[in-house]
Amino acid sequence: MPMPQPTLDGTPVAPAAIDAPATPAPVARHALIAARAVTQPDGPMVVRVIAPDTHGTLALRVIDRSGKVLETVSVTAGSINLRPLAPSIADAQHTLWLQLMEDDQAVGTPLWITPLRAPPAVRTVRSMRLNTQQPYTRVVGWGDRAFDPHDPETAQAMPSWVASDPVITGGFRLEPACDAVLHTSEGDLRVAFAPDAAPATVDNFLRLARVGFYDGTIFHRIVPLDREGRPFVVQGGDPTGTGDGGPGWNLALEPSDMPHARGVLGMARGDDPHSAGSQFYIGLSRDGTARLDGQYCTFAFMLDGMDTLDRLAQSPIGDSATGRPSKPPTLDRVEIVAARACETGRPPHGGEPTPPTPVTPAEPATAVTP
**pLDDT, mean of residues 321-326:** 95
Report the distance separating Cα 61 and Cα 73, nearest Å: 6
pLDDT, position 12: 39
Percent of the chain with pLDDT over 70: 86
Query: What pTM value is reported for the model?
Result: 0.87
Q: Among 270-274, 275-279, 281-285, 362-366, whose mean pLDDT is lowest?
A: 362-366
Query: How many degrees, rounded to 5, is the angle at CA 168 between CA 253 and CA 95?
Result: 65
pLDDT, position 170: 96
Q: What is the DSSP string of 23-77?
A: PPPPPPPPEEEES-SEE-TTS--EEEEE--SS---EEEEEE-TTS-EEEEEEE-S
Assess whether pLDDT exceeds 90 at residue 346.
no
At 344, the pLDDT band (50, 70, 90 cuts) reads: confident
Report the distance separating Cα 39 and Cα 53, nearest Å: 30
β-strand pairing of 145-146 with 317-319 = unpaired
pLDDT, position 146: 96
Q: Which domains does the chain have, with CATH numbers?
A: 31-115 (2.60.40.10), 122-160 (no CATH), 178-350 (2.40.100.10)
- Looking from the CA of 5 toward its CB, the CA atoms found within 13 Å total 9
pLDDT, position 29: 87
**pLDDT, mean of residues 301-328:** 96
pLDDT, position 131: 73
Per-residue model confidence as pLDDT tens digits over 89-98: 999 999 999 9
Q: What is the DSSP string of 299-353?
A: EEEEEE-HHHHHHHHTSPEEETTTTEESS--EEEEEEEEEPPP-SSSS-GGG---
Report the distance separating Cα 29 and Cα 47, nearest Å: 15
- Looking from the CA of 209 toward its CB, the CA atoms found within 13 Å total 22
